Structure 1
Amino acid sequence: MHITAALTEAKGAPFTLAPLELDDPRPGEVVVRMVSSGVCHTDLIVRDQWYPVPLPAVLGHEGAGVVEAVGNGVTQVAPGDHVVLTFNSCGGCRMCAQGRTAYCDQFLAYNFGGSRIDGTTPLHRETGDVHGVFFGQSAFATYALAGERNVVKVDPGAPLELLGPLGCGIQTGAGGVLNSLKPPAGSSIAIFGAGSVGLSAVMAAVVAGCTTIVAVDLNEHRLELAQELGATHVINGGEGNTVERLRELTGGLGLDYALETTAVPAVLRQAVDALNQGGTCGLIGAAALGTEVTLDMSSLLFGRAVRGIVEGDSVPQLFIPKLVDLYQQGRFPFDKLIKSYAFEDINQAVEDSEKGITLKPVLTFA
C-alpha cells in the first residue's frame, strides 16, 4: 500500500514527509486509516535519541482512525470499526497474564524496537527498509499497521479527530490517578507539571472525588486552565517554597498523594517531601536514561512511598472506552487541551509544543 509518512531521518532532525510502502497485514495485524495522531513528549525524546530507537523511523503513537483491513485470525475488530491505537504488549508473559500489560516483560522490544519481534519492518522505500512499529503503530502516517492487542474499538459517535491522545498521554495522566494511586473521595493530591499529562490527572482527580487538588507549574496560563478543569488550588513553583505551601494547604500534614510529570529530579524531590506519613508519590515523567534523584531515607521510612507508573497502569481495551464515556458525559473535557494541525504542519506542531504554546498538538489527516 502506498502511504505518506513523517520520517525521522537522524537524531534531532525535523520530520520530513515521504512516500513509503506499507505491507499488507500479517496474521494478527490490523491496517488503520489514520484520522488523527497526537504528538507526545515521547515522540520528541526518541527523535532526540534519549531512547535508542533505530533510525530512520516513523514515530507517532497516539493514533486514531478507521480499520481498513485485518489479517488472518483477527476477531476483535473489523473493517469500518473506529479505533484508538495504544501501546503494544506480548500477551503471554507473567505481567501480561496479570493484566499489567504496561509492564510487559518485552515492553521495550514491542514498543521501542523499531521492528516486529521477528526483526522485520512493514515500512519500505526505494533505498531500503524504514524502521516502524513504534509503539506497535508508527502513527505519523496516512495509514498505520498495528497489532490486534493494541487496537481499541471505540464508540463510532465519538470524535476520532480528538481521540488519539487517549492512547498514551491522556491515558497516562488519568490512569496515574484512577488506576495507580486510586485516591479515595476526600483525599488530597498535588500534580506537579500542568502539561497535557498533568492536566489529565487533574481532571481524573475530580472524577475520583479528591477535595484538595493542587496543580504546580511555572506557567500561569496552564495554572489558570488547571483551575478551570477542577484544581482547587494552584502553585507557581518558581515563587516561594512549594513544599511549605503544600503543607499549609493540608493543615501541616502534607499530601495524601502526589504525581510527578515533569521528569525534573528536583521536582520529584519536592513531590516526595510534600507527602504526609503514609503518602504515595507516583512518577510519570520520562527522564533521560541514567537520570538520578536524591531522597531523604528517614522520610521514606515513615510509610512514604514512591512508585513508577507507565501508561497509567491501564488495560487500554477497558480504560480508553471509559475515558470516552466520561468525555461524552462532560466529566472529562480533555478537548480543552488539544489544538489541531494538518499533518503537513507536523514541524510547526512540534515547535509549538516545545515552546509551550500548545499543550497537546493533534495532527489531522485529510
Structure 2
Amino acid sequence: MLTKAAVTNGKGDPFKIESLKVDEPKAGEVLVRIVGVGICHTDLIVRDQYYPVPLPAVLGHEGSGVVEKIGDGVTSVVPGDHVVLSFASCGTCKSCMTGRPYACQTFYELNFTGTMQDGSCRIHKEDGTDVSNFFGQASFSEYAVVSERNVVNVPKDVPLELLGPLGCGIQTGSGAVLNKLKPEIGSSIVIFGSGSVGLSAIMAAKVASCGTIIAVDVQESRLEFAKELGATHTINPKNVNVVEEIQTITGGGADYTIETTSRPEVLRQAVDSLATLGTTVIIGAPALGTEVSLDVNTILFEKKVTGLLLGSSIPQIFIPQLIGLYKEGKFPFDKLVKYYTLDQINQAADDSESGVTIKPILKIS
C-alpha cells in the first residue's frame, strides 16, 4: 500500500512530503493508521545527523493511531484498537526479561539503525529504494508498521491525536520523577529547562507532592507557564547565580535535580546545586562525544549522577497511568500542545526549535 510521509533525504535537509510504499506487517508486527504524532528534539537531532540514522529515513517516534492489521502471533491488540507507539525493545535480553525494556541491550540497534528486528525495512520509495524507519515506528507518515512491543493499548474516551507524545518526551520527563527518583513527600526538586520534557517533570513533581519545585529557564514566558503547572519557584540564569539561588531557596541544596537542556555547563550547575545525598538525573541528549567537567569532591558527599532512558518506564503500564492522571485533571499535558498538519512539518519543527511551540503535534488523519 501507499502512504504519504515526511522524508529526511539528507543531513539537515527540510522534511519532504513523499508517497512511499509500506509492506504488510510480518509476524509479531502491527500496521497502524497514524492519527497524530509529536515532534521531539530527538527527531530534529537525527534529521541533523547528530545521531547518524541511515538516510533516507522517515522519522517520528511519538505516534498515536488506530490498528489496521495485525501479523501472525500478535495478541495484545486487534484491528480498531486505539494505540500509542513507543520505543522498540527485543523482549529477550537480560534487561527486558527483568522488566527494564528501556535499557534493552539492543536498544540502539532496534531504534537507531533504520531497520526492524529482522534487519529489513518496511517502507520504500516507489523506485524500490529502502527508507529507514526510526524507533521501530517511523510515524511521520499516514501508516506505520511497528513491532507489537512498541504498541500501547489506550482508552477510546481520550482524544487520540493528543496522546502520541506520551510515547517519548512526556513519559521521559514525568518518568524521571515518578519512576526514577520517586521523591519523598515535601522534598525539593529543580528542573533545568522548561520545554516539554522539563514541564512534564514539573507536573509529575506536583503529582508526587514535592514541597519545593524550582524551574530554571532563560525564557520568562516558560517560567510563568512552569508556575501554572506546579513550580513553586522560578530562576532565570540571566538574572542570578543559579547555584547560589537554589541553595538559598532550599536551605543548602536540592534533594533532586533534573537536567533537560543538553548543555554541559547546565549539567554542572545541576550537580553543584545538590544537597548531600542528592541525585541528578540527566535527560538532555547532546551530540555524541559531548563531555562535562565535574568536581569530584562535590560528588564525594554522597551525591549521585545518573542517566535516564525513556523515563525508566514500561510503556504499556506507565502510559495508561499518565492518561489516568490526565483524566483526573492532575497531569494537564494538553496545555503543552499546538497542532499542525503533516504538510506543515517544517514550520512545526522551526517553531519547536525557536521555542514558539512547546510540543508540536502533527495531525495526520
How far off is 1:120 after superposition? 1.0
Rounded to whole Å, the distance in 2 between the matches of 1:128 and 1:353 is 33
Question: Are 2:21 and 2:126, in contact at CA under 8 Å, matched by a contact in 1?
Answer: no
Question: Are 2:55 and 2:132, in contact at CA under 8 Å, matched by a contact in 1?
Answer: no
Corresponding position: 1:323 with 2:309 = no
Corresponding position: 1:111 with 2:111 = yes
Amino acid at match of 1:148: E
Matched with 1:79 is 79
Matched with 2:247 is 247
Matched with 1:356 is 355
How far off is 1:148 after superposition? 0.5
Matched with 1:301 is 300
Q: Return 130-139 or 76-85, whichever deviates more.
A: 130-139
The number of equivalent residue pairs is: 365
Rounded to whole Å, the distance in 2 between the matches of 1:16 and 1:320 is 31
Rounded to whole Å, the distance in 2 between the matches of 1:272 and 1:190 is 11
Question: Are 2:264 and 2:291, in contact at CA under 8 Å, matched by a contact in 1?
Answer: yes
Amino acid at match of 2:51: Y
How far off is 1:133 after superposition? 3.2
How far off is 1:158 after superposition? 1.0
How far off is 1:124 after superposition? 1.2
How far off is 1:343 after superposition? 1.1
TM-score, with length taken from structure 2: 0.99
TM-score, with length taken from structure 1: 0.99
Question: Are 2:29 and 2:70, in contact at CA under 8 Å, matched by a contact in 1?
Answer: yes
Matched with 1:125 is 125
Q: Deviations over 1:242-287 (max 9, x none)?
A: 0000000011x20000000001000000000000000000000001
Matched with 2:45 is 45
Rounded to whole Å, the distance in 2 between the matches of 1:180 and 1:131 is 35
Amino acid at match of 1:288: A
Amino acid at match of 1:254: G
Q: Return 64-73 or 117-126, whichever deviates more.
A: 117-126
What secondary structure is seen at the aligned counterpart in 2 of 1:14?
coil
Amino acid at match of 1:242: V
Rounded to whole Å, the distance in 1 between the matches of 2:280 and 2:342 is 37
Q: Deviations over 1:85-104 (max 9, x none)?
A: 00010000011111111110
Rounded to whole Å, the distance in 2 between the matches of 1:350 and 1:173 is 20
What secondary structure is seen at the aligned counterpart in 2 of 1:201?
helix
Query: What is the 5 A alignment of 1:65-214?
Result: 65-214=65-214
How far off is 1:318 after superposition? 0.2
Rounded to whole Å, the distance in 1 between the matches of 2:184 and 2:7 is 44
Rounded to whole Å, the distance in 2 between the matches of 1:220 and 1:209 is 25
What secondary structure is seen at the aligned counterpart in 2 of 1:339?
strand
Amino acid at match of 1:77: V
Question: Are 2:214 and 2:231, in contact at CA under 8 Å, matched by a contact in 1?
Answer: yes
> Please, what is the CA RMSD of the aligned residues?
0.7
Rounded to whole Å, the distance in 1 between the matches of 2:63 and 2:297 is 44
Corresponding position: 1:279 with 2:278 = yes
Amino acid at match of 2:43: D
Rounded to whole Å, the distance in 2 between the matches of 1:176 and 1:4 is 35
Q: Deviations over 1:302-328 (max 9, x none)?
A: 100000001000000000000000001
Give the % identical residues.
59
How far off is 1:365 after superposition? 1.4
